[in-house]
Structure 1
Amino acid sequence: MPATGDTAPDFTAPLANGDVDSFTLSERLEDESPIVLAFFPGAFTGVCTDEMCTFQDRLAAFDDLDANVYGVSRDSPFALNEFRDQNGLEFGLISDYNKEIIDDYDIAMDFADLGVYGVAKRSVFVINGDGEVTYEWVSDDPGVEPDYDEVEAAVEDAA
């Protein structure tokens, strides 16, 4: 798992932003840093919906810091667009349908009792314009949300 000070693993994946576009982290860092990658286990679930809606509610604070927030999950880009629509999310959601980003960031978890494998642990990474991870938070408990004030402070430090 990339730790603070490490170079963030680069990736290209589908971006659900009302349409479906391509997202390449290294290309976006040139114009959109710092970037907040908020990994979540699955769209349309209670805690994940609360988390993404909280990021939406706090989006103005991230905008004021010239930061960009992206949610990341294993859901398809089409499901993520519906999730965005139903919850009024104004930021893009990255589809890691093939679990490549989750594996690169080493944050996979299973819900074996439900037959669900390889979803993202709830995690937040702040990445500066040089591609360096300046903040990382990973929870082994899918019911725990990040400390949003701490994430904002980390973004302010990275800006």
Structure 2
Amino acid sequence: MAGALDMVLTPKGLRFGGRMYPCTIGKAGITSHKREGDGATPRGAHRIVGMLFRPDRIVQPTDWAVPIGPGDLWSDDPKDHAYNTLVQAPYPHSHEVLRRADPLYDLVLLTDWNWPDAVAGRGSAIFIHQWRCPGYPTEGCIALRRVDLYAIACRITRHTRLIVP
């Protein structure tokens, strides 16, 4: 059952704190059998385990948000020993750059999907981040308008969950 601090994905958007926020999900919809690269958003109750932000672009939304540095990457290579964790450049394995030229990762809420003990191929990070534009799907993450993402980030706690029914 969802608590007052939880974000709940619904057909109308992401419900949090008595409000409904428009959002987008993975291009392949929702799945109970997430795999690396499938473009799906995994079903379940996912804890929020961290928050990253670009200090050169936005104000720190909470005291537990961690700045994204120039060399910060996220390993998405199932064969890598550091699969589904924050790593530093230079990095020889497949990864995502967290300090992007576009604003998608200016603020990132990290979920515990396949973390901290990642199972190879089960899918790397499910982030909550800024969307490209309304209706544009993600690779499996949840995406929101910048203003909505920031408003949520300022109000969540370390006990908040993302619930994907």
TM-score by length of 2: 0.31
Indicate the structure with greater strand content: 2
Question: Radius of gyration: which is bigger?
Answer: 2
- Between Structure 1 and Structure 2, which shows a larger proportion of helix residues? 1
The TM-score, its normalising length taken from structure 1, stands at 0.32
